[in-house]
Amino acid sequence: MTGLDRPRRLRRTPALRRLVAETTLRPRHLVLPMFVADGLEEPREIGSMPGVMQHSMDSLRKAAVEAVAAGVGGLMLFGVPLPEDKDATGSKASDPDGILNRGLRALADEVGGSTVIMADTCLDEFTDHGHCGVVASDGAVDNDATLHRYVDMALAQAEAGADLLGTSGMMDGQVGAIRRGLDAVGHTDTGILAYAAKYASAFYGPFREAVSSSLEGDRRSYQQDPANRRESLRELHLDLAEGADIVMVKPAMSYLDILREVADRSTVPVAAYQISGEYAMITAAAERGWIDRRASVLESLTGIRRAGADIVLTYWAAEAAHWLS
């Protein structure tokens, strides 16, 4: 056994393992996605995402304060309008009195300056057909007509106090259109979190309950094919050229190879979204006693960080931040 290479020496004690750890996970790396729903007096739990709420305005403020106190890096807000407020163009998305913009103002008033406030800049929650854009007469999503709506939405969100706008619709040219629209009216400091690689995933199911989606069919004509790798790099380079401040891969856990490639090439910070289905799977297995919940959550988040994410959007952000503190 003389001369045997012994890597185990550096795994022998917790102190040694901590000393040589290659990847860190800290509260500042985590962003909490939140849902604010119109017409609620009390928060309402999302059935397929135990522990995650559709918030009332009051509970949104309270949960935001608690998350910021735990040290999370940011909050990503999604709006859930009343069913009767949905229409073909998602007009409430750009209405200053729409639920998402009211929620953004509430967050800006409550925790603005102490965290990063992010907005979902997409129409799907607000359209009666559930698609992320304007639907043409032939049933296809009209890319360029949708860009005009995204600019309107972005301007309303910037006015409401968002620091970063999350361009999740996967329309061609969306980052550039929004950047030009913001700059033209003086919102040069509002940043863009570009969903550079967003895949048409089967793991989005619980999210559609969370936002009371009206979608029938799928979004495969604009979200990426899970079979494709090179396409994500094309999307990355386009978003960087159009002015993205941060780029994101979504989902995270089934696309860690994509995340690694994007992180290796990106000249801006990289985010990844641990989505609703990932949350639901770990939660369900833990509820049945099949896995250790806390250990599994932290291992999954560390894996996303190890694959190259500077920022991780996760529904466990506030809870994990407490653990890590």
| Mean pLDDT within 64-93 | 97
Mean pLDDT for 93-103 is: 98
d(CA 264, CA 61): 37
Mean pLDDT confidence for 89-112: 97
310 falls in which pLDDT band (50, 70, 90)?
very high
Distance CA 325, CA 321 (A): 6
Task: Give the mean model confidence (pLDDT) for residues 274-287.
Answer: 97
Mean pLDDT score across all residues of the chain: 96
pLDDT digits (tens, 9 = 90+) for 188-232: 999 999 999 999 999 998 888 888 787 777 888 999 999 999 999
Q: How confident is the model at residue 45 (pLDDT cuts 50, 70, 90)?
A: very high
Residue 33: name the closest of 1, 80, 92, 84 by CA: 80
In angstroms, the CA 304 to CA 314 distance is 11
pTM here is: 0.96
Does 198 participate in catalysis according to the annotation?
yes
Flag whether pLDDT at 265 surpasses 70: yes
> Which has the closest alpha carbon to 228: 145, 170, 302?
170
* Angle subtended at Cα 283 by Cα 277 and Cα 285, rounded to the nearest 5 degrees: 105
Residue 46 banded pLDDT, cuts 50, 70, 90: very high
pLDDT band at residue 1, thresholds of 50, 70 and 90? low
Which entry of 62, 86, 92, 250 is annotated as an active-site residue? 250
**213 compared with 135, residue with greater pLDDT:** 135
pLDDT tens sequence across 10-31: 999 999 999 999 999 999 999 9
Helix axes 293-306, 256-265, angle to 10 degrees: 40
Among this protein's residues, is 92 annotated catalytic? no
Catalytic residue among 62, 86, 92, 198: 198
Q: Cis omega (within 30 of 0) on the bond before 27?
A: no
Does 183 have pLDDT greater than 80?
Answer: yes
Per the rule left: phi > 0, alpha: psi between -120 and 50, beta: everything else, 281 is alpha
What percent of the chain is modeled with pLDDT above 90? 92
- Flag the least confident range among 73-82, 215-224, 232-241, 271-280: 215-224
Local structure of 72: helix, strand or coil: coil
Token pair for 308: 């190259």
Among the listed residues 178, 172, 143, 184, the one whose alpha carbon sits nearest the alpha carbon of residue 238: 172
Q: How far is CA 150 from CA 56, 106, 134, 135, 282, in A?
A: 25, 22, 10, 14, 34
Residue type, 115: T
Rg (CA), the chain: 20
Q: What are 87's strand-pairing partners?
A: 127
Q: In 3-state terms, what secondary structure has residue 195?
A: strand
Instruction: Using pLDDT thresholds of 50, 70 and 90, give the confidence band for residue 99.
Output: very high
Q: Is 40 helix (H, G, I), strand (E, B) or coil?
A: coil
Predicted local confidence at residue 4, as pLDDT: 86
Q: What per-residue confidence (pLDDT) applies to 217? A: 73
> What burial letters (b/e) apply to 264-282, b meaning 16+ CB within 10 Å?
eebebebbbbbbbbbbbbb
pLDDT bracket for residue 74 (50, 70, 90): very high
